[in-house]
Amino acid sequence: MRVAIFGAGGHAKVVWDILVAGGHEVAGFVVDEPQAETLLDLPIVRRPEELPPHDGLVLAFGDNRGRKARYEALRAAGVRLVSAVHPRAVVAGRVALGDGVMIAAGVVINLDTRIGENTIINTGATVDHDNAIGAHVHLAPGCHLAGGVTVGEGAFLGIGTNVIPGRRIGAWARTGAGAVVVRDLADGVLAVGVPARVRP
């Protein structure tokens, strides 16, 4: 499959590596305002139609709200949004993946877990059994979720976050680096520390 990448920063380079490792061809990169002409010897353009013919597009930037807006606009325009799953990720049977997800190297996702559309499961993260991860979420590198965790739409779990079994993290909530979530988090909060406490 030939795929275009929307984004041209460090995250886009990781997506390029995932696609190439999976045997796909990358057509090039798309950004609203290119700062260079090429990345990884491939063209950077303003619109997907300026690239060679391709079979779909992957969003490759970390901002959850911006990624949701772009995802919805591209879907409404009829663009096919595809997933990037690294061949060295372990995705168990009975895992449901939404459209347009990114699963990086070293990720482990155990059975009966659902991953929502346009969600990023970043390098080395683990998601145990029976989790429900919403759309437009970003689990940063090294996050570890125990069984039965629910993560609401648009939540961002900072690098190295750990979540004990059965917790619920609300929509658009955020955790700081290294946070240990032992209680449910409401929608929209920021929680930091060990154990994670909500900042006022």
Query: Is-catalytic flag, 129?
Result: yes
Is the bond preceding residue 87 a cis peptide, omega within 30 degrees? no
125, 110 contact by CB (below 8 A):
no
- C-alpha 119/C-alpha 171 separation (Å) is 13
Q: Which two tokens stand for residue 57?
A: 């597009």
11, 54, 86, 129: which is the annotated catalytic residue? 129
Amino acid code (one letter) for 169: I
Of 130, 176, 166, 132, the closest CA to residue 152 belongs to 132
- C-alpha 171/C-alpha 153 separation (Å) is 5
Report, as residue numbers or ranges, the catalytic residues. Answer: 129
